[in-house]
Structure 1
Amino acid sequence: MTNLKTSTELKAIAKERSLDKYGILILANIIIFVLQMAISSIVTISSSGSLVIFAINQIIFLIVSILLGVLVSGKAYLYMNLIYSQTVSTGDIFFGLKQHPDKAVKIQSVFVLADFLSSLPASIIWFILTPRSPFSVRVALFIALLFGLIVNIYVSLTYSQAFYLLHDYPDRSAKELLAYSKTLMQGNRFKLFSLHISFIPLIIFGCLTFFIPLLWIFVYRYATLTAFYQDLIAAGNTGKVENGLN
């Protein structure tokens, strides 16, 4: 895996493949966002300050976030079709409902639970924090936040390819797909991390210009990340991908 494309080359591929398909891709992203927001708001039972209600809402949020893995899977399928020069449509985002939704949910649970557990210490400290809390408590909060961020970044990078792999290797179990992603990302975490960082100036620009450009920027970003997968799997494969897009 030593001959991977540069960030500039990956972005060029993303631009070229997305050129006449931005309308479909932007609409698909909007649909996913609206569905996620709608489902999350419907299942939230109350905004009461009660600790019990808060705990119930957190549990519901975790369950819904995990189930939404089918949409994440569908989004991966949509952008894989794009990068592999296949026909794309907004309906692709629902492919995760047909392509082993149980595996998509299991993969998503790794990200959701890692996020929840790594942020739990900071959440507990924040809950007990008061204006009169000693400085040591504030330091503990900072350390807990930093810990959660590091764990989240590590998990996100390590298993970042699992949803793509689900569509290239549909016969493998969720555990095998996660393990394969971990193998592929060995020595490549920093490259993917740098690729994510490179979009920060564009995202800031989008936020400063009334958010409208973000519609294009998010498409460009996700297409680039999918191009990274295409390059990674091509470099990592010694044989033909079974039942896959490539």
Structure 2
Amino acid sequence: MSNTIKIAELKATAKERSIDRYGSLILANIIIFIIQLIISGITTVGTSGSIIIFVINLIINLIVNILLGVLVSGKAYLYMNLVYSQPIAASDIFFGLKQHPQKAVIIQSVFVLVDFFVSLPASVLLFMVQRTPTQSGYIAMIIALLVGFIVNLYVSLVYSQSFFLLHDFPERSAKELLRSSRKLMQGNKLKLLALYLSFIPLYLFGILTLFIPLLWISVYRYATIAVFYQKLISNAGSNMPAKEEQNGLD
């Protein structure tokens, strides 16, 4: 591969690696969705208007989302197997339970807690304008939403490679993996953002066609993101060797 990252080439590679494997990949996504749905239903205390119940649900939701980092890790492992042309199975999503789950939880906590804290101002303002509607209150809430979205997006881009790195470099600590992702994404954040945006037309098509194509689109998108990681790690050269032979996938 050349050092230039071209979205069309990434997508073409993702399609090539995914041929005849969509069944396992789609099944893995369905299993993850069902697990999240079941856990969400089990861990919800109640739906009353009590502030105490609301806070308890909020805390439980935060903890559950952080613990689900092991599934995010397993999904990264599955797609790394895919792009490195290794055998794959839907059960690969549970590999995160065996491969340093504590590191996966720490990495996931960064995303979950950042999302919580940057969303908090807008949530508070929404609560206030619902009780006392004012134009300035709505403007402040919209600004808070925009700022929160930008911060959240920036963090997600900077640390987007952390779970992939966990499986390529399992000997590194969670802090080192986050730092490695930050270094790897220097000069590449806009490229990844452009990759994300390139899937918007497909998602709109999926929504307009009764959502069924979304099963394939979500697989295609994540496979392309995994190929993006493979390209980044290859371009990193001697500073971060690609270790394709021993990339933690055996």
**What TM-score do you get using the length of structure 2 for normalisation?**
0.95
Partner amino acid, structure 2, of 1:27: L
TM-superposition CA deviations, 1:207-242 (whole Å, max 9, x none): 110000000000000000000000000101316445
User: 1:233 maps to what in 2?
Assistant: 233
Whichever residue aligns with residue 83 of structure 2, its letter is I
Could you tell me which residue of structure 2 aligns to residue 33 of structure 1? Answer: 33
Once residues 141 and 188 of structure 1 are traced to their aligned partners in structure 2, the CA distance between those partners, rounded to angstroms, is: 31
Mapping for residues 9-48 of structure 1, pairs under 5 Å = 9-48=9-48
Matched length: 245
RMSD, aligned α-carbons: 1.3
Question: Residues of 2 paired with 1:46 and 1:179: CA distance?
Answer: 39
CA contact (8 A) 2:234 2:241 kept: no
- What residue number does 1:224 align with? 224
Q: How many angstroms apart in 2 are the aligned matches of 1:25 and 1:13?
A: 16
Aligned partners of 2:153 and 2:241: how far apart in 1? 31
What amino acid sits opposite 1:244 in the alignment?
A: N
Unaligned regions of 5+ residues in structure 1, if any?
A: none
Deviation at 1:168, TM superposition (A): 0.2
SS in 1 for 2:87: coil
Alignment of 1:35-184 (within 5 A): 35-130=35-130, 132-184=132-184
Which runs of structure 1 show a deviation greater than 4 angstroms over 4 or more consecutive aligned residues? none
Deviates more, 1:72-81 or 1:33-42: 33-42
Give the AA of the match of 1:16. Answer: E
Q: Which runs of 5+ in 2 are unaligned?
A: none
* Higher mean displacement: 7-16 or 41-50: 41-50
Looking at structure 2, the residues matched to 130 and 9 of structure 1 have their Cα atoms a distance apart, in angstroms, of: 48
* Post-superposition offset of 1:27: 0.3
Conserved 8 A contact 2:169-2:248: no
Structure 1 residues 73 and 27: CA distance shift in structure 2, 3 A: same
Identity %: 62
Question: What is the identity, as a one-letter code, of the residue corresponding to 1:29?
Answer: N
